[in-house]
């Protein structure tokens, strides 16, 4: 046995003897937080190095270079995927899952939280290439993927169960966000909202430890440097309430636009079959947008910082519109253009093959929209004045709440970024309105839409989650004796009844196509009348099944409804038109109860 495996075995034996499961999880959460913080910092530094090279070594002074850079970045990512990182990820995720967070949600539901070890390093390579070369996406999603893959594989090595592995992935998510934004409370809330965790002390404490560990890691390497070094200097006043309601309506509608344009652009690129053609079209489209709107380049955090500092001209950069930006309404129009085109540029980057995240582009779009609304209010000539800085901050919260349906994350994130809770009331007003409008207009987010369509989404509903987590193959029984329609009563009794302890028999043809069922209760009425043994056939006795279950087509919820509607205790399972087995109601309910207990921990 290799020395490493011997050491691991000894460690695990020592751990089982000396460290309780509860304390072991706490230790792991601290370790995961540390590693998540390192991942987040590494990703940011690699991307910053690439961007600095273009800014200083190439000395970008003209917008023409933007036509080339996004295409080159996407091409490098394409070549890496095709020729270097060619091995399929195991466990793999279905092709309909486009982004990192949905892939984690799917993994937790369908793959027991097992993530390929390649996901540890792949985002650290491909995301910086995408963002560094101008792709209009964020780094939070790839950092979460890498951190989650570390926690998943750490859990696999240390032989933790699925429930603990899920908690460790949530700890990694919390750690990455805490490190990137230095907002530990928002990070915990984000993990709870995104992964639909039951917020008990058993899950809260590991999340808290991971968040603290990751924040301390960030402070150790970066000092007290903040993502946005800004504090809310203008306090909330009651007369501004109507304007914050207006901001909430604006961010709610913008969130619906964001989600719809996301799926529309993906739909357009799905019609392009060639991956190279996708990156060619996407690269040129992004380059064109960057030429006219330079702030769309990369993540856009510097754009937010400039707006928060009141420097909108520097935020807009070197636009082709030149001196026209002296007119405040031209500035407002350009900022609104960023609101509109950030979502387009982001989704085009994804659809063309880029790797990145959604949350930071959402913040960019929200900051621009909030600043636009504040500037309009301040310049319409009605002697109104609102704080542009506050509206920029709260605009970000409104978009986060609407786009990813995480209202509490949005509130605490902006509160922590600003270093206090001066804006808590306007944050709650705007976020609540934005969230309600978005939920009314869009039932699911870009994270959950495709998963929900395929019934692969965990929610706060324990009953539904238990059904989702149940495995169909484990409740299908195949020890039923089949009967052909030509069989006479004598053969049925000898071949099936005498050899089976079941009270139902499937009738199939020579190709195993399901035709119907015969019930033991019906046989009892005639089974002792020997005159009928050679006269009656299975075809005469069979009847239609009360309902049919279609293998890998019907969800567990649909199967439960079929049992309830039919009143049957056994229903046949059909796989591609062929008989496959039966599911009994008693076994299904037993499996459901066990899964519910396992899921809830009660």
What pLDDT band is residue 63 in, cutting at 50, 70 and 90? low
**Does residue 463 have a pLDDT over 60?**
no
**Within 10 Å of residue 222's Cβ, how many Cβ atoms?**
15
**Does residue 406 have a pLDDT over 80?**
yes
What pLDDT band is residue 432 in, cutting at 50, 70 and 90? very high
pLDDT at 475: 85
All residues at 6 or more sequence positions from 593 whose CB lies less than 8 Å from its CB, including other chains? none
What pLDDT band is residue 404 in, cutting at 50, 70 and 90? confident
Equal CATH topology for 3-222 and 238-459: yes
Distances (CA, A) of 394 to 174, 338, 367, 401, 420: 22, 17, 8, 11, 14
Chain length of the chain: 602
Nearest-angstrom CA–CA distance, 478 and 459: 32
User: What confidence tens digit (pLDDT) does each residue in 341-368 have?
Assistant: 999 999 999 999 888 889 999 999 999 9
Domain at 3-222, CATH from 1.20.120.550, 3.40.50.720, 1.10.260.40, 1.10.3080.10: 1.10.3080.10
User: What confidence tens digit (pLDDT) does each residue in 251-267 have?
Assistant: 999 999 999 999 899 88
As given in the structure block, the two tokens for residue 354 are: 């880029």
Task: Please classify residue 493 by burial: count the beta carbons closer than 10 Å to its beta carbon, then call 0-12 exposed, 13-18 middle and 19+ buried.
Answer: middle
To 5 degrees, how large is the angle CA 296–CA 297–CA 303?
65
pLDDT at 460: 47
Nearest-angstrom CA–CA distance, 175 and 38: 10
Kindly report the backbone phi and psi dihedral angles of residue 113, in degrees, each rounded to the nearest multiple of 5, phi listed first. Answer: 75, 20
pLDDT at 598: 61
Task: Please classify residue 530 by burial: count the beta carbons closer than 10 Å to its beta carbon, then call 0-12 exposed, 13-18 middle and 19+ buried.
Answer: exposed
User: Where are the strands (E) in 235-394, listed by range?
Assistant: none
Query: What are the domain boundaries of the chain?
Result: 3-222, 238-459, 465-600
pLDDT at 1: 47
**Does residue 65 have a pLDDT over 50?**
yes
**How do the residues of the chain divide into helix, strand and coil, expressed in percent and rounded to 5?**
65, 5, 30
Kindly report the backbone phi and psi dihedral angles of residue 582, in degrees, each rounded to the nearest multiple of 5, phi listed first. Answer: -130, 155
Q: Which CATH class is domain 238-459?
A: mainly alpha
236: left (phi over 0), alpha (psi -120 to 50) or beta: beta
Q: Are 395 and 423 in contact (CB under 8 A)?
A: no
Averaged pLDDT, 597-602: 55
CA 78 to mean position of chain CA atoms: 23
User: What confidence tens digit (pLDDT) does each residue in 133-161 have?
Assistant: 988 898 998 999 999 899 988 988 888 88
pLDDT at 4: 59
Nearest-angstrom CA–CA distance, 175 and 29: 9
What pLDDT band is residue 214 in, cutting at 50, 70 and 90? very high
CA 291 to mean position of chain CA atoms: 32
Strands 549-550 and 570-575, by their bridges, are: parallel
Q: Are 516 and 507 in contact (CB under 8 A)?
A: yes
Say how many Å lie between the first and final Cα of the chain, rounded: 40
The CATH code that applies to domain 465-600 is 3.10.580.10
pLDDT at 476: 87
* Beta-bridge partners for 506: 517
User: What confidence tens digit (pLDDT) does each residue in 294-322 have?
Assistant: 888 888 888 998 898 888 888 887 777 66
**Does residue 44 have a pLDDT over 70?**
yes
As given in the structure block, the two tokens for residue 474 are: 């484990």
Q: What is the pTM of this model?
A: 0.78
């Amino acid at each position: 046995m290799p020395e490493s495996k011997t050491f691991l075995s000894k460690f695990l034996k020592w751990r089982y003897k000396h460290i309780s499961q509860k304390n072991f999880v706490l230790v792991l959460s601290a370790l995961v937080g540390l590693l998540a913080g390192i991942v987040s910092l590494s990703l940011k530094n690699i991307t910053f190095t690439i961007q600095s090279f273009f800014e200083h070594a190439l000395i970008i002074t003209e917008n023409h270079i933007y036509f080339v850079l996004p295409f080159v970045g996407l091409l490098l990512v394409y070549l890496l995927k095709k020729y270097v990182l060619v091995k399929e990820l195991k466990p793999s995720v279905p092709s309909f899952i486009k982004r990192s967070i949905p892939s984690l949600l799917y993994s937790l539901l369908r793959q027991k939280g097992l993530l390929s070890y390649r996901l540890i390093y792949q985002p650290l390579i491909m995301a910086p290439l995408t963002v560094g070369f101008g792709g209009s996406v964020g780094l939070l999603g790839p950092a979460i993927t890498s951190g989650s893959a570390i926690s998943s594989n750490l859990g696999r090595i240390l032989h933790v169960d699925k429930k603990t592995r899920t908690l460790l992935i949530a700890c990694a998510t919390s750690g990455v966000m805490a490190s990137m934004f230095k907002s530990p409370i928002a990070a915990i809330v984000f993990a709870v909202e995104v992964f639909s965790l039951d917020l008990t002390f058993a899950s809260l404490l590991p999340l808290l430890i991971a968040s603290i560990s990751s924040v301390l890691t960030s402070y150790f390497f970066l000092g007290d440097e903040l993502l946005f070094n800004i504090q809310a200097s203008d306090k909330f006043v009651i007369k501004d309430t109507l304007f914050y309601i207006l901001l909430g309506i604006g961010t709610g509608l913008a969130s619906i636009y964001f989600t719809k344009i996301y799926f529309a652009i993906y739909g357009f690129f799905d019609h392009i079959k060639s991956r190279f053609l996708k990156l060619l079209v996407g690269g040129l489209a992004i380059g064109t947008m960057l030429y006219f709107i330079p702030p769309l380049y990369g993540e856009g955090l510097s754009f937010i910082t400039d707006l928060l500092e009141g420097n909108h001209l520097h935020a807009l950069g070197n636009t082709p519109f030149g001196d026209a930006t002296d007119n405040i309404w031209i500035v407002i129009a350009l900022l609104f253009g960023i609101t509109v085109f950030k979502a387009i540029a982001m989704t085009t980057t994804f659809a063309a093959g880029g790797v990145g995240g959604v949350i930071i582009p959402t913040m960019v779009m929200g900051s621009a929209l909030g600043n636009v609304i504040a500037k309009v209010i301040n310049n319409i000539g009605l002697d109104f004045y609102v704080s542009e800085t506050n509206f920029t901050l709260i605009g970000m919260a409104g978009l986060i709440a609407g786009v990813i349906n995480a209202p509490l994350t949005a509130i605490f994130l902006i509160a922590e970024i600003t270093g206090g809770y001066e804006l808590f009331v306007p944050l709650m007003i705007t976020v609540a309105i934005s969230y309600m409008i978005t939920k009314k207009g869009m039932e699911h987010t870009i994270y959950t839409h495709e998963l929900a369509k395929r019934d692969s989404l965990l929610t706060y509903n324990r009953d539904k989650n238990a059904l989702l987590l149940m495995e169909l193959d484990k409740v299908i029984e195949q020890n039923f004796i089949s009967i052909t329609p030509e069989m006479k009563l004598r053969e049925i009794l000898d071949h099936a009844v005498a050899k089976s302890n079941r009270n139902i028999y499937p009738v199939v043809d020579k190709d195993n196509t399901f035709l119907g069922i015969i019930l033991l209760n019906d046989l009892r009425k005639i089974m002792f009348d020997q005159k009928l043994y050679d006269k009656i056939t299975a075809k005469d006795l069979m009847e239609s099944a009360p309902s049919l279950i279609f293998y890998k087509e019907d969800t567990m919820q649909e199967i439960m409804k079929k049992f309830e509607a039919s009143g049957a205790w056994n229903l046949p399972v059909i796989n591609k038109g062929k008989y496959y087995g039966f599911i009994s109601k008693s076994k299904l309910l037993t499996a459901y109860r066990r899964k519910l207990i396992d899921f809830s921990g009660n």
